Amino acid sequence: MRLKLYTLLFSIGFFPALVGAQCTDLFISEYIEGTSNNKAIEIFNPTTAAINLASPVYSIVIYSNGSPTVSFTINLTGTINPGQTFVISNNLSGAVLLALSQQTSTSINFNGDDAVALRKAGNNIDVIGRIGADPGTQWGVGTQSTEDNTIRRNAAVQAGDPNGGDVFDPSIEWTGFAADDFSGLGSHNINACIIVPPTITGGIILNEISNGAAGNQEYMEFVVIGSSADPLADVNLSGWIIDDNNGDFEGSTTTGVADGHVRIKSGFLTAVKPGSIILVFNNAIGDQNPAITQASDPTDANGDCIYVLRISDGSLEDCSSLPSTTNNSYSCGVFATTANWSHISLRNAGDAGQARKPNASFYHGFSYGDVGAPFPSFSTEFGGSAFNVATGDGVGRNFFFNCGSFTSSTNFSRGNAGTVDETPGEANNNANRYFINAVRTGTFDYSNLANPANCGTLASLPCATILAINLHQFNAEKQENHVLLNWELANSDSDVFSFELQRSKDAIDFYTIAEIEGYNFLINYAHTDYEPMQQNYYRLKMIDRNGEVTFSAVKNVNFDRIGDISIFPNPLSGNRSLSVITAGYTVQTLQIYNALGQQLFYLNNPQQTIELPAFWPAGFYNLILKVDGNNIVRKLVIE
């Protein structure tokens, strides 16, 4: 596939209207209904991540002549990188159009009165025309119509229109061009996206699921995640549902569905620390997994942040009837006081594990084996949909999370049960240990689950570290040929503690460059690194009087040949025009974060001068420029 570059235009006038979940999925950016067989659809990726068109399946569907049902379906293949387009055309189109296409199909043969939709996992996410309505010959008038014209999406549009039943007027979101005008095909102009960080309210994610090496030696393991607003706040899990496939996976109520489900009984797990592990397993005689040696501990009586819940413990209850192979609902009126593993048992050929909120809405989980698309949508806090970890069956297998985004299948692995791959009640590996530690210390970046800093390798941190020193912020700032490191505590309940400033060249292996004594009456600290390397990653290690350790998030400072890139005016006041002086180098991306670490702005291929929103409050901001694959951080002050 050829790479299709695009241009981002920035207009301050669009900011107020665009705050809110735009630029989050593919949409149709161009429609060509030309002479003879010159017909094509261009789709565009406005997100900051590559999108695999095959998982979940994206497709183009056509509703012919006012039909309410799909007449043709074309499943798309390949990957669309951020800011790129994908063109699918009729295979008998002219040579110019075919040369601009990444996929062809005889089914791309619509006319002006046929509704065309972009689908994801069987659901319409963008529609041209009105499904079930025949407009005669076309929707719209003149060149802004769907017959014998090319229409291109306006730059202000940042998301598709999934409502195929509403009135369709191309003049609202589209600009028209003459028939066989291919001049804009293969690129797309779009206004800069405002990225609003998700607000995660806390819950449990499926960390590991195992079929066991023999019999029904099955278990599910969850990790408690915190709230993005207060990452160290306890989480109430009373009433949360644990289940295998209920029919939401694969869109069927038969494959891998065990009648019934299990939930955490009222009064249990009402205040669970983020980073805690919850192990739920089958303890029937002869079926307990031999890797599970922990004693029952449904209340975390020993304070190690590991909740061990046998299926027969009084902390769990179950419904024996719903969901079933004919009904995927959770409207169960009667719960047994003692749960039964058969109601969430796993199917060898394929099944799913999942966690649901007390209102039964899907929160997190994944499938394996022959249980495929469509998948249930994750909680709106995460966005996206669930996935299949591995198409291979689950006989003698376990499936587990590593680190990074727990909404991406690439961060999960398939292992062998009965081996070291099984780690019930423990971190799955060093990467998973890093993830759990980051959640425990409140440094996991919930606003950007794919942040590279959410992965790494660290030794285990004790559960109690989340009660240690409360770090408000930690900053590393390049100043000429040295680095100023400063940090601020929100408060401290220790009267004796110390800090170690650590540095790394690769964000994996850290060593201490300074030790600083802490004082219970002082919350602001600073240190200057006068001998930085070319590439520097810094983190703060905090040690309280009990020897408990907490780590900060990792900060990056780069000294290289492009280190003289600057921004001005700084401070910025009055006019919000900001100039980026690049010394002849090309800036790939520009990001701006506020003092809370929330990403406010993302721009590909920024121009030398950009206009910042007038409604941003005065304060300190971090501006990150990506140049030649390196991130350059600059502090921006708005007065």
- 26, 61: one domain: yes
- pLDDT-flagged residues of the chain (< 70): 1-22, 194-198, 457-470, 490-496, 506-508, 520-521, 545-548, 560-564, 582-584, 595-598, 628-631
What residues contact 220, with CB distance under 8 A and at least 6 apart? 206, 208, 209, 242, 279, 280, 281, 344, 353
Question: Residue 462 carries which side chain, given as an amino acid letter?
Answer: P
- 116, 250: one domain: no
In this predicted structure, what is the pLDDT of residue 448? 84
- 142, 222: one domain: no
Question: Residue 415 carries which side chain, given as an amino acid letter?
Answer: G
Classify each residue of 461-481 as buried b or exposed e, where b means 16 or more C-beta atoms within 10 Å of its C-beta.
Answer: bbbbbbbbbbbeebbbebeee
- 27, 98: one domain: yes
In a domain, 446, yes or no: no
Domains: count for the chain: 4
Please report, for the domain that includes residue 72, its CATH number: 2.60.40.1260
In a domain, 270, yes or no: yes
In a domain, 461, yes or no: no
Map 256-324 to HEC letters. Answer: CECCCEEEECCCCCCCECCCCEEEEECCCCCCCCCCCCCCCECCCCCCCCEEEEECCCCCEEEECCCCE
In this predicted structure, what is the pLDDT of residue 630? 65
Residue among 437, 422, 527 at smallest CA distance from 485: 527
Residue among 44, 5, 4 at smallest CA distance from 154: 44
In this predicted structure, what is the pLDDT of residue 7? 29
- 73, 154: one domain: yes
Residue among 398, 438, 403 at smallest CA distance from 421: 398
In this predicted structure, what is the pLDDT of residue 509? 74
- 221, 174: one domain: no
- 220, 307: one domain: yes
Map 178-199 to HEC letters. Answer: CCCCCCCCCCCEEECECCCCCC
**DSSP secondary structure of 369-393:** ET--SS-PBPPTTT-SB--BS-SS-
Per the structure, the complete domain to which residue 414 belongs is given by 201-441
pLDDT tens-digit readout, 162-215: 988 889 999 999 999 999 999 889 888 887 775 555 677 899 999 999 999 998
**DSSP secondary structure of 388-414:** BS-SS--TTEEEEE-SS-TT-GGGEEE
pTM attached to this predicted model:
0.51
In a domain, 1, yes or no: no
In this predicted structure, what is the pLDDT of residue 617? 83
Query: End of a domain among 534, 558, 582?
Result: 558
In a domain, 344, yes or no: yes
Query: End of a domain among 142, 161, 191?
Result: 191
Please report, for the domain that includes residue 514, its CATH number: 2.60.40.10
- 358, 407: one domain: yes
- 600, 628: one domain: yes
In a domain, 501, yes or no: yes
Residue among 10, 44, 76, 80 at smallest CA distance from 188: 44
- 545, 592: one domain: no
- 435, 474: one domain: no
- 475, 548: one domain: yes
In this predicted structure, what is the pLDDT of residue 586? 75
Residue pair 553/538 in contact (Cβ under 8 Å)? The answer is no
Please report, for the domain that includes residue 617, its CATH number: 2.60.40
In a domain, 81, yes or no: yes
Query: End of a domain among 524, 558, 592?
Result: 558
In a domain, 620, yes or no: yes
